[in-house]
Amino acid sequence: MNLIIDVGNSLVKIAVFQEGKLKVKDAFKLESFLEFFQTFFEVHGNFDKCIVSSVGKLTDLQLNSIKEKVEVFELNSKTPLPFKNLYSTPNTLGIDRLALVSALVNQYPNTNALVIDAGTCVTFDFLTAQNTYLGGAISPGLRLRYQALNNFTANLPLLETKRPNGLIGNSTSEAIHSGVVLGLVNELEGVISKYQEKYSDLTVILTGGDADFLSKQFKNGIFANSNFLLEGLNYILEFNSN
């Protein structure tokens, strides 16, 4: 069994894979790492190997608590990957994006594919059918857009994410929802359309914390997979274990 640990800014995602299949998934706050990990390990037993994606967010004590129990592979910018990377500044490329592209390699081989990760930021990452990563784009996510309207204006309220009632907002709240949600949806559709003009056989994957919410705004043509990052991390672990 493989143990997958993805450490974000405030939340840690943890998963168990067996023979390439996701068996267990959970999430917890970073500050409760030691307590949660000990309990998780006791419940789910021994693991053959583990991959940790953290970019320095774990303390030595937290990292050593994992190493005491299982062989650990730490993902970084120098990790061997299952694709050719043409990004001009690979040392600045987020390791979460490396994992997403690796998942494309594994699940959509020989395919022109775009993965969109809708979280705090929205990232776009493109892999050619020749297994070459070209790069993509980074844009503000839903919550950042709501927060920016509140932080950088005097009177606009901070709202919870909500599907707008229609295109035309007839109140300040509805106008914000229309601008934020439909604005991002139209942005995604526009970016996808530009890629499709160049790559007519494009496959598009939508993942991340807002994937389920956003996928409901699209008519068709996009595959939503909230576990895509974890699946990519598991594939990188297997790739480096052979």
Catalytic sites, residue numbers: 96
- Rounded Cα distance, 206 and 114, in Å: 9
- Rounded Cα distance, 221 and 107, in Å: 17
Strand runs labelled E in the chain: 2-7, 11-18, 21-29, 49-53, 72-74, 84-85, 113-118, 121-127, 132-140, 203-207, 223-224
- Rounded Cα distance, 145 and 152, in Å: 11
How crowded is residue 71: how many other Cβ atoms within 10 Å of its Cβ?
12
Give yes or no for a contact between 32 and 26, defined as CB atoms under 8 angstroms apart. no
Give yes or no for a contact between 121 and 209, defined as CB atoms under 8 angstroms apart. no
Beta bridge partner(s), residue 14: 5, 26
Strand runs labelled E in 8-118: 11-18, 21-29, 49-53, 72-74, 84-85, 113-118
Give yes or no for a contact between 239 and 82, defined as CB atoms under 8 angstroms apart. yes
Instruction: Sort strands 203-207 and 223-224 into parallel, antiparallel or unpaired.
Output: parallel
Give yes or no for a contact between 10 and 30, defined as CB atoms under 8 angstroms apart. yes
